[in-house]
Structure 1
Amino acid sequence: MTTKDKREYVRRPVDVPVDFIVQGRLYQGWIRNISEDGFLIETEGTFSVGQNISMIYSFHLFGQENIAGRIIWVGSQVIGVKFETPENNK
């Protein structure tokens, strides 16, 4: 069974610029895919699994949304992020 087969939610391809903060440092990147529980960011930098990430995302119709997550995997110039919810913090 591949990782793709194990996914609970379908990933949707997107191409969205994003500014985000990890350990107090501002980074820039591109969200390349997104699902109900997380997203993939293409970016440069050195990251570690378990680091918290935060960003403010501007929705055209709804204004700004604060989004928090945790890095769950790190690849070459990409990171996988799982959304933080009260359920995930238990």
Structure 2
Amino acid sequence: MTVISERRKNRRAEHKSSIALESLDPGTSMVATMFNYSRGGFYFESDTFISPGKEIFIGISGSPYASESNTYECHRVQVKWLKELYNSPYRYGYGVEHRDSVECSATDIIVTEQDEDNHLQKVKESEMELRKHPRRSFSKPVYFSAHNRYYQGLIRDISRGGLFIQTSDSISLGREIHLVIPHTKFDKNVMIRGKVVRLTPKGVGVKFTGLVKQKRRPKS
């Protein structure tokens, strides 16, 4: 994916905090993490795919834009660019431009304490996984099976612990899959067993769980 560059008119300052995302059409809110900000916008990371140009609402706990600390604020922003991330707990990084502030309370964008706890636990586990198995960009076709069906996709990144498969096929979260990566030591007699641990509009994230020995035909 091509990274869309940004000309920064305003100096950015570091500020890491959990934020809540919601589309302009009210619906399910999602938790993400903000990393820096300026007067004109800020940068956050999320597993949710959002198209550049789209406007969304973002709720910020302890907003750096507020005059008082520990203030919850809502902002309408426009996504200016995104990039795929390889060594982050998240799938995508976003630069957004601030449109305006909106009066709200923490209950207007509904993210429960359980949602945030689950989010923080997921980030912690992902960070530990990344320290053990850094991801790298990769581009190779892959063949895999799930629930007695066969699929083909494209590997976009890979680590010793798993990979991301770009595919338009629908595969449920938690599904066990068996896969073969052509032109590697795993493409003959051995398949890799994996578990789908992440779903995005672009494809699925898979965690390796073991190897599957293939039965060889007896020699005649």
TM-score by length of 1: 0.80
Deviations 1:55-77 (A, max 9, x none): 123335x3523111000011102
Residue 59 of structure 2: aligned partner: none
Choose which of 145, 153, 158 in structure 2 pairs with 1:34. 158
Structure having the larger proportion of residues in strand = 1
Residue 200 of structure 2: aligned partner: 75
What letter is aligned with 2:209?
A: E
Structure 2: where are the runs of 5+ without partners? Answer: 1-32, 34-87, 91-125, 212-220
Choose which of 126, 136, 140 in structure 2 pairs with 1:16. 140
Distance in structure 2 (CA, Å) of the matches to 1:13 and 1:79: 15
Deviation at 1:82, TM superposition (A): 0.2
Contact 1:45/1:77 (8 A) holds in 2: no
Structure having the larger proportion of residues in helix = 2
Q: Secondary structure in 1 aligned to 2:182?
A: strand
What letter is aligned with 1:74?
A: L
Distance in structure 2 (CA, Å) of the matches to 1:25 and 1:33: 23
Distance in structure 1 (CA, Å) of the matches to 2:164 and 2:183: 18
Query: What RMSD in Å do the two structures reach over aligned CA positions?
Result: 2.2
Deviations 1:42-62 (A, max 9, x none): 0011111110010123335x3
Distance in structure 1 (CA, Å) of the matches to 2:182 and 2:201: 27
Quick one: higher RCO (CA 8 Å, sep 6+), 1 or 2? 1
Distance in structure 2 (CA, Å) of the matches to 1:68 and 1:56: 9
Residue 3 of structure 1: aligned partner: 89
Choose which of 151, 155, 170 in structure 2 pairs with 1:46. 170
Structure 1: where are the runs of 5+ without partners? Answer: none
Contact 1:20/1:53 (8 A) holds in 2: yes
Larger radius of gyration: 2
Deviation at 1:80, TM superposition (A): 0.3
